[in-house]
Structures are given as structure tokens and as C-alpha cells.
């Protein structure tokens, strides 16, 4: 009976595929097997939003993904290549219902709005397949109070949150591996601002460089961060040739960043207060975060109210801290600590899964200044989700994500 149901679902899979094609009969026979021994089908729910479309673009070139199963409530039954002509000749076919995608997939990515995807996570958990959620629904573990306070919704399936994991690989890679070894996993893919801001502060917190006082993060995002639905704020005449802060002291990524800073702080260390201000920048892609971290007494060079250029002592101390950052991230495939004289910039990570980090010291020698650059659609969304998939299945973490960034 189950095989007949799956055959009906699979008949609809002629629509979306990544070369090479596999026969429908072998697909049905293999659906219950381990992914390593069968053609892998990756499902994307919400495939026509910006993050969903980026998932489709990256997954279509992933060496371990043989087929794609795609859904969209807004464009159900339509052809993905008619909505995104860049997929012509590479990804083709009709968009299905989410339930059909789940029935046919070995792993499911959800690129839906917040507070929508929990029923699909429950369905994937029932089918014992991995589920990677790009919304905020699973970023707070079982802390429903914080989630509901910021997102205005309660958990629909509280029991799912007790076994989900926050999917920042640089923080939780080992936990993700342990959970995947035990069965299917629900991953809360991190937000874009929390990714760049947290990675820039992590070594300072873990290695005792942070002293006391607020950590300040000023971050500027490209317009694609606002999603595909048009609004006045993202209307070209409103945002072109202009840079402005928004949601000052009230952005919903604030508690996520604060949780990360707490988790990243060395045992026994003081958990920092966070001041986070996002800005809208007149560019399509990218997030540049500038992070101000008060240094501990051990690392401070006291030159209060200095107005002279940085001394050789300060430059040497900045170099020492840069080496700590480089050593901390030396085994991370997608974090690049830049050499002295190179400052993080969004154009050098465009369409890549990299997070570039440059390390600086203020002229008084008391505050660490860290700049990070990511592509908000890749490391800030779809690319990081695929990085998590690679970890879940034991693939090379760089699989499908190894392209050199586009500089221009």
C-alpha cells in the first residue's frame, strides 16, 4: 500500500530533477534505504522565495543530490523555470504540495515564513527524515517564552523543540553529528545577522579576550534580506542611494545573537550585554557587521582619549589577536580570517558560503573591532542549510559549496 502511494507521488517527480535522472521504479525501491545507498532526493518547501530559490540553485549542483522535489503555496502547479528563468535547462517541472515533497524526499528544507513550518517538521520527524528549517521556529530550542515574545506565536509541537538543534556549525557541529547518529534531526538554521555577528565575536568570548561592558554590533544588509514580497521599505526609490538603520533596539535577531554570545562565552566568564543595530544598505546581497568588543585588562593597552595614530604597540597587539582568531578558525572550511591590511567586504564573499573576518584594535587599545562579511542568501541562509545537510549525512562539508566567490 505504501509503495503504491509513493509511486503516485513519485510519478509527479518528473518535474524537478538535477542531472543525472534515475528511473521511477528504482527511486521507489530505494526510498526506504539509507541515503548513502540510494539516489538522494532533496525537498524544498517554499522554493519560490529568495532563500528557497537559492537552495534550489545550490542543490541543483550538489554532487550528492540526484533529484529535487519542490513546493510553493503561491505557485503550486506552475513551472519553477517560469518563475525563475535562470533555472532554464537545469531545473524544470511543476511545483507540488508540501506533503508530496515530504513523501518523496530524503531530506527536507523549509524556507517558509516564521510560525508556519512546524507541522511539516512533525511530518518529517514521523517519516524519520532530516528537516532543516530556515525560519526562526527552531532557533530557540525549547525556550518558548523568548520565541513567543519576539514572534508572537506559541509552539504548535513543543515536544519537537526538545530534540531540535541550533544549526550554527562552528558552534554545534559535534552536537549535530551526535544527534544525526541517533536518528532524524530537526535543525534550526541560524538567521543572517546572527551568523555574521556571532562568528565575529566567538573567539574573543571563548578565549577570554572580552572584558566587561556591552558588545556592540552594527550590521548592514542587502535588500534581499527583506524577502521577495514587495514593500515600500524595499521599493527602489526608497532604498537606493541611501543607508539607514531600521528596527533600532527592536530587531527580532537580537535574542538569537544574545543566546549565541552566552553559549560562546568561556565557562565562568561574564556574559556580555548586546547592543545590536541593523541597517538597510543599497545592495542586493551581503551583510557587513562591525563588532565592538571591550577587551579584558590582560589584553588592553591603556591609552585613554588618544588622538594620535595607532602605535606600533597597538599594531602588534592587533596582530597577536588576529593570530588567536586565525588559530581558532583554522579547521573551519568557511571562515576566513583575513591578513593584516585586508578588511572584510561583502563583494569578496558574494554567492559563497564564506564568512570573512578582519581583526582590528581601536586607537586607544581598549576595544577590539571585528568586521565580518557574509552573503546573506548563502552563509546567512541557503548555503549554511546545505552545510548542515552535509554534516547530517556525513558528506564532505564543502560539497556543493566550494565555488570561488564572485568579486564583481
DSSP 133-144: E-SSTTSSTT-H
Cα–Cα distance measured from residue 101 to residue 55, given in angstroms and rounded to the nearest whole number: 15
- SS3 state of residue 281: coil
pLDDT for position 118: 97
Residue 361 is placed in which grid cell? 584594535
220 contacts 200 by C-beta, under 8 angstroms: no
In the numeric block, the cell 543525472 is attached to 20
pLDDT for position 50: 95
Per-residue pLDDT tens, the chain, 408 aa: give them: 434 434 334 443 434 443 332 222 223 233 332 344 467 999 999 999 999 999 999 999 999 999 999 999 999 999 999 999 999 999 987 999 999 999 999 999 999 999 999 999 999 999 999 999 999 999 999 999 999 999 999 999 999 999 899 999 999 999 999 999 999 999 999 999 999 999 999 999 999 999 999 999 999 999 988 877 767 777 888 888 999 999 999 999 999 999 999 999 988 888 899 999 999 999 999 999 999 999 999 999 876 677 778 889 999 999 999 999 999 999 999 999 999 999 999 999 999 999 999 999 999 999 999 999 999 999 999 999 999 999 999 999 999 999 999 998
Cα–Cα distance measured from residue 10 to residue 152, given in angstroms and rounded to the nearest whole number: 37
Write the secondary structure of 220-259 as one string of H (helix), E (strand) and C (coil): EECHHHHCCCCCHHHCHHHHCCCCEECCCCCCCCHHHHHH
Q: Does pTM surpass 0.95?
A: no
Active site residue 355: no
285 contacts 222 by C-beta, under 8 angstroms: yes
Residue 152 is placed in which grid cell? 508572537
Cα–Cα distance measured from residue 321 to residue 326, given in angstroms and rounded to the nearest whole number: 9
154 contacts 160 by C-beta, under 8 angstroms: no
Cα–Cα distance measured from residue 364 to residue 126, given in angstroms and rounded to the nearest whole number: 57
224 contacts 284 by C-beta, under 8 angstroms: yes
From the centroid of its chain, how far is CA 180?
19
Instruction: Tell me the pairing of strands 244-245 and 335-337.
Output: unpaired
pLDDT for position 306: 72
Please identify which of the residues 124, 192, 239, 355 carries the catalytic annotation.
Answer: 192
DSSP letter, residue 79 = B
Span between the terminal Cα atoms of the chain, in Å: 53
* All domains of the chain in start order, with CATH: 2-190+380-393 (3.40.50.720), 193-376 (3.30.360.10)
Cα–Cα distance measured from residue 76 to residue 46, given in angstroms and rounded to the nearest whole number: 10
| Cα R_g (the chain), whole angstroms | 22
pLDDT for position 237: 84
pLDDT for position 25: 29
158 contacts 142 by C-beta, under 8 angstroms: yes
Residues in the chain: 408
Cα–Cα distance measured from residue 165 to residue 408, given in angstroms and rounded to the nearest whole number: 36
Residue 47 is placed in which grid cell? 522554493
Phi, psi of 343 (to 5 degrees): -105, 140
Q: Which residues contact 146 (CB under 8 A, 6 or more apart)?
A: 140, 255, 259
- Closest to 329 in 3D by CA, of 200, 211, 193: 200
Amino acid at each position: 500500500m505504501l509503495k503504491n502511494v509513493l509511486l503516485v507521488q513519485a510519478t509527479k517527480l518528473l518535474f524537478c530533477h538535477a542531472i543525472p535522472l534515475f528511473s521511477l521504479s528504482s527511486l521507489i525501491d530505494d526510498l526506504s534505504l539509507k541515503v548513502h545507498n540510494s539516489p538522494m532526493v532533496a525537498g524544498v518547501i517554499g522554493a519560490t522565495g529568495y532563500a528557497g530559490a537559492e537552495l534550489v540553485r545550490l542543490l541543483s549542483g550538489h554532487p550528492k543530490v540526484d533529484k529535487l522535489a519542490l513546493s510553493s503555496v503561491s505557485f503550486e502547479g506552475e513551472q519553477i523555470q517560469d518563475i525563475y528563468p535562470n533555472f532554464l535547462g537545469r531545473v524544470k517541472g511543476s511545483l507540488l504540495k508540501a506533503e508530496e515533497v515530504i513523501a518523496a524526499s530524503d531530506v527536507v528544507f523549509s524556507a517558509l515564513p516564521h510560525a508556519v513550518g512546524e507541522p511539516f517538521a512533525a511530518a518529517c520527524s514521523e517519516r524519520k527524515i532530516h528537516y532543516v528549517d530556515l525560519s526562526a521556529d527552531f532557533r530557540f530550542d525549547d525556550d518558548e517564552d523568548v520565541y513567543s515574545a519576539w514572534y508572537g506565536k506559541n509552539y504548535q509541537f513543543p515536544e519537537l523543540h526538545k530534540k531540535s538543534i541550533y544549526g550554527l556549525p562552528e558552534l554545534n557541529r559535534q552536537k549535530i553529528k551526535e544527534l544525526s547518529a541517533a536518528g532524524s534531526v530537526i535543525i534550526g538554521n541560524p538567521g543572517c545577522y546572527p551568523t555574521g555577528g556571532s562568528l565575529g565575536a566567538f573567539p574573543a568570548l571563548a578565549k577570554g579576550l572580552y572584558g566587561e561592558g556591552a558588545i556592540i554590533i552594527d550590521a548592514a544588509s542587502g535588500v534581499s534580506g527583506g524577502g521577495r514580497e514587495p514593500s515600500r521599505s524595499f521599493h527602489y526609490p526608497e532604498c537606493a542611494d541611501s543607508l539607514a538603520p531600521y528596527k533600532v533596539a527592536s530587531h527580532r535577531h537580537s535574542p538569537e545573537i544574545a543566546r549565541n554570545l552566552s553559549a560562546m562565552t568561556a565557562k565562568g566568564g561574564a556574559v556580555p550585554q548586546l547592543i545590536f543595530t541593523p541597517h538597510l544598505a543599497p545592495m542586493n546581497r551581503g551583510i557587513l557587521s562591525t563588532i565592538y568588543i571591550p577587551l579584558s585588562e590582560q589584553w588592553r593597552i591603556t591609552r585613554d582619549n588618544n588622538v594620535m595614530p595607532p602605535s606600533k604597540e597597538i599594531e602588534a597587539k592587533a596582530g597577536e589577536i588576529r593570530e588567536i582568531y586565525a588559530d581558532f578558525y583554522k579547521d573551519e572550511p568557511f571562515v576566513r580570517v583575513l591578513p593584516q591590511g585586508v578588511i572584510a567586504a561583502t563583494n569578496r564573499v558574494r554567492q559563497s558560503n564564506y564568512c570573512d573576518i578582519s581583526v582590528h584594535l581601536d586607537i586607544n587599545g581598549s576595544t577590539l573591532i571585528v568586521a565580518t562579511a557574509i552573503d546573506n542568501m548563502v552563509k546567512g541562509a541557503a548555503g549554511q542549510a546545505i552545510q548542515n545537510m552535509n554534516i547530517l549525512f556525513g558528506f564532505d562539508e564543502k560539497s556543493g559549496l566550494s565555488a570561488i566567490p564572485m568579486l564583481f
